[in-house]
Amino acid sequence: MQSYAHGGDGPPLLGLTVSGVLDEAAARWPDKDALIVVDQQIRWTWNELRDRARALAAGLLSTGLHPGDRIGMLAPNRAEWLLAQFGSAYAGLILVNVNPAYRAPELEYALNKVGCRALITETQFKSSDYIAMMQTLAPELAASTSGDLYAHGLPELRVVIQLGKKAVPGMFSLDDVMRQADVESLQRLDEIAAQSDFDAPINIQFTSGTTGAPKAATLTHHNMINNALMSAAILDFSCKDRLCIPVPMYHCFGMVLGTLLCATTGAAIVFPGAAFEAEATLQAIEAESCTALHGVPTMFIAVLDEPEFEKYDLSSLRTGIMAGAPCPTELMQRVIEDMHMSEITIGYGMTETGPLSTQTSPRDSVERRVGTVGRALPHTEIKIVDEEGHIVAPDVAGELCVRGYNVMLGYWGDPERTAEDIDTSRWIRTGDVATMDENGYLRIVGRSKDMLIRGGENVYPREIENFLYTNPKINQVEVIGVPDPRFGEEIAACIQLQEGEQATEEEIRNYCRGKLAHFKIPRYVRFVDEFPMTVTGKVQKFILRERLTKELEQAFRTSQLKRAAT
């Protein structure tokens, strides 16, 4: 036997575009709830969602955009996210997901990397002032006519649309754009739909590589719609379901396994709030009788540990997906018993595979739902290979490779990096080390690529290292991940300072604030005189990781003893 499997027992693949899926949903379930956004007090049917998305699409075309143009979306979870997701599809545009935690340099890179022609942006969220950020990156906005921006730092960007009501120089408001929809532009949407190809690109998401510069994973209609459809089939989803989505829309988890999964089945989409909050999630589940909940393990832990957890009625829940990090056995048992989610599943994947490649089944044992990441999704192939590319025997570790409808087109504008990850037979190398048992169940045992996952967020050490090298006090830096009970992994920066320089841990963290997304800021900073090296001069990061892990474990035991003594 070999470590190769092909998923089966699923529905046939759909040959639809993203806008076509919404059209079908509106035709099949016109008056059923499509979207409930609790904090915005919004409740739309599938008909209403389709009509609003088409109005935005027509308005976007009236601003001078053309099919194939890239349009960025910079916002937390809110109703306008769905308008952007489906509206861009109706207009034939390629939606570019921008992480709301990005700071100005990261936003500038993202917009320029894929040549965004337009950007829809929230005005402000938490500590981020997006309007000020855009005015810094494009000071020409102040003197520009809306829709006619020419900025030196953002040479491709022409249209900026803000979600607020207050007028901002050089920017449209979203309402203004939607009001520009007319009979002619609405008719043009039908012409675009007739010419649309479901194998065309529809979405770009940024996923960093070990070289540090984020890569722009380019997904098609076919990738995303069918990934949602296959997962929905495993979850036994129907129009009777109501899915609570606290995971962010800028991730595939939210926009594919969330909104598109619902659109293919007629299930209601429920946003508890703009960003995850445990209490708001509990309130939404109870108020909307949600039958499913998606989240990363840290979200489920926060919900279960909410002080008022016991007062909420969660009896409507039955299923959902937990993904993004390993799930401890104790957590799975608590989710099943205390949250009534007897059919909870575990999913594994990556942005480049749209996102899921494997998923457990509600009919799998708890042991398999904890100890494995399931089996290959229908119409998806997986194999485990050794360093020479040969398929290994069952239960032998090797690199996981995936092939199927879900594999991305490639990295936008990066044919060389695409060729590094996708071979001529369309197998994509995941960079994860895995084993497969004789029944096709997959276990992830490590990562061959230098990446860590903090609370469901992919964090790439090289990107943080490259930034820290801009600090003149730093001579050398190595960023590693260390185990953390809450986030799965935490970020640690091991730093060798320039001769004669001094710095504190907090000084280094302050240097990062406002310039790196919050989840990329190292929690631990350690100053070293030298690094453990191989004979060929390479830093042995695994030794750094072992040393710091032992140090943190000892510190924890010491604090426990002191606490017990008092």
Q: What is the pLDDT of residue 43?
A: 98
Give CA 255 to chain center in angstroms. 8
The set of residues, in sequence order, having a beta carbon less than 8 Å from that of 485 and lying 6+ positions away, is none
Q: What is the pLDDT of residue 447?
A: 64
Per-residue pLDDT tens digits for 78-109: 999 999 999 999 999 999 999 999 999 999 99
Q: In the chain, which residues have pLDDT < 70?
A: 208-212, 446-450, 534-538, 564, 566
- Rounded CA gap, 126 and 164, in Å? 15
Q: What is the pLDDT of residue 212?
A: 55
The model carries a pTM of: 0.85
Angle at CA 519, nearest 5°, toward 474 and 209?
A: 75
- SS3 for 445-476, per residue? EEECCCCEEECCEEECHHHHHHHHCCCCCEEE
C-alpha distances (whole Å) from 447 to each of 215, 385, 399, 450 are: 18, 14, 8, 7
Residue 87 carries which side chain, given as an amino acid letter? G
- SS3 for 331-395, per residue? HHHHHHHHCCCCEEEEEEECHHHCCEEEECCCCCCHHHHHHCCCEECECEEEEEECCCCCECCCC
DSSP string, 114-164: TTEEEEEE-SEETTEEHHHHHHHH-GGGGGPPTT----SSSTT--EEEESS
Kindly report the average pLDDT of the chain as a whole number: 93
- Name which of 455, 451, 454 is nearest 465 in CA terms: 451
Q: Which residues of 49-65 are buried (b: 16+ CB within 10 A; e: fewer)?
A: bbebbbbbbbbbbbbeb
Per-residue pLDDT tens digits for 35-45: 999 999 999 99
Residue 359 carries which side chain, given as an amino acid letter? Q
The set of residues, in sequence order, having a beta carbon less than 8 Å from that of 348 and lying 6+ positions away, is 323, 356, 357, 358, 359, 373, 374, 442, 444
- Rounded CA gap, 512 and 527, in Å? 16
Q: Specify the DSSP element, H or E, that contains 544.
A: helix 541-565
What's the residue count for the chain?
566
CATH number for region 452-565: 3.30.300.30
Per-residue pLDDT tens digits for 142-151: 999 999 999 9
Q: What is the pLDDT of residue 536?
A: 46
- Rounded CA gap, 5 and 439, in Å? 9
Taking domain 18-29+46-220, whether its CATH number is 3.40.50.2000 is answered by no
Q: Are 128 and 149 in contact (CB under 8 A)?
A: no
The set of residues, in sequence order, having a beta carbon less than 8 Å from that of 484 and lying 6+ positions away, is 454, 490, 523
Q: Are 125 and 238 in contact (CB under 8 A)?
A: no
Angle at CA 263, nearest 5°, toward 260 and 268?
A: 110
Q: What is the pLDDT of residue 211?
A: 43
**DSSP state letter for 230:** H
Q: What is the pLDDT of residue 450?
A: 67
Domain boundaries, the chain: 18-29+46-220, 452-565
SS3 6: strand
